[in-house]
Amino acid sequence: MNKEALEDAAAENAKKHAAFIVFLAVSACIFWKALGGLVLYAFHDDSCSHIVLIPFISLFLIYTERKKIFLKARVSIGFGALPILIGAFIYWVAGRHSFTDGGRQFLSAAALSIVSVWIGGFAVCYGKRALRATIFPFLFLLLMVPLPDQALSRTIYYLQQGSTDIAYLLFKAVGVPVLRQGFLLSLPGVTIEVAKECSSIRSSIALFITCLLGVHFLLRTPWKMVLFMVLIFPLSVIKNGIRIFTLTLLSIYVDPSFLHGSLHRDGGFVFFALALAMLWPVLVLLQKSEEAGRRVVSSEGLNKAATGFVAESKLTG
């Protein structure tokens, strides 16, 4: 493309960007109640503390790939209208029927409707091709949707169960006398309960988001991406079991305040880093296997090309 064509394309894209910003502003005014509820909920519920960051991360992802996304953007009103209508319908149902209590169910449905409307607005302003190029950032936006109560309760239960199992096995392995009754672990001088607040749901969600971004940037093979993401839940359980085991031993043999001190309240980052340290070698190994595979495919292609060139030379020689 010549300079004038590039300038015309940039000017056209600037108009589309302005239109999309206006669309986002209007949608924020329409959905102000739901967005405000999501923000408040994020600051009061550990399982939703990530919500306020998700739109900004999605915007960053779009920005990093902007040249590919907006290369041949085209307005597509018909294509974008459907997700907008779907989002509007979901919000109407959430506000007027079974979720009128304004609780978590309402916020889940409202967040889903907002994401759908934003996807539709993007499609209207930029078209099919741009939307296909931004499929990951928009799917990432679904992390704005709070888990329904039943799904959240089951997830927390499994984290509690697994963390208790790991801590119990670690106490047994090092020879510390321990009795288990459900989520209660009785040790010499102390009895601890792996309560819902100790399930590490916040840390587990943060680990999931971090690994999801790592997979997006570093891996390309679908089954390897899925394999790596599947490892996150057991690693979350192991990480939290180690946390409970460590804090309990410190409270028994060093200082009882470790069970309610700063390491207990704010030390989650230490064990979060431990989980990342365990996952990092796996990610590096998968990435290297992909690079090796690409090199093999590339060398095979070169060999075929060379063979074809030699054969053609013999025929024409």
Strands (E), 143-250: 179-181, 184-187, 190-193
pLDDT at 66: 87
pLDDT in tens, 161-195: 999 999 999 999 999 999 999 999 999 888 888 88
**Tokens standing for residue 166:** 């790991």
Pairing of strands 179-181, 190-193: unpaired
Intervals of the chain under pLDDT 70: 1-9, 97-103, 261-268, 295-317
Q: What residues form DSSP beta bridges with 186?
A: 179, 191
Q: What residues form DSSP beta bridges with 193?
A: 184
pLDDT at 200: 84
pTM summary value: 0.82
pLDDT at 212: 94
State the DSSP H helix or E strand holding residue 48, giving kind and residue range, or none if neither: none
Separation of alpha carbons 200 and 197, rounded Å: 7
pLDDT at 296: 60
pLDDT at 310: 44
| Percentage of residues in the chain having pLDDT higher than 90 | 49
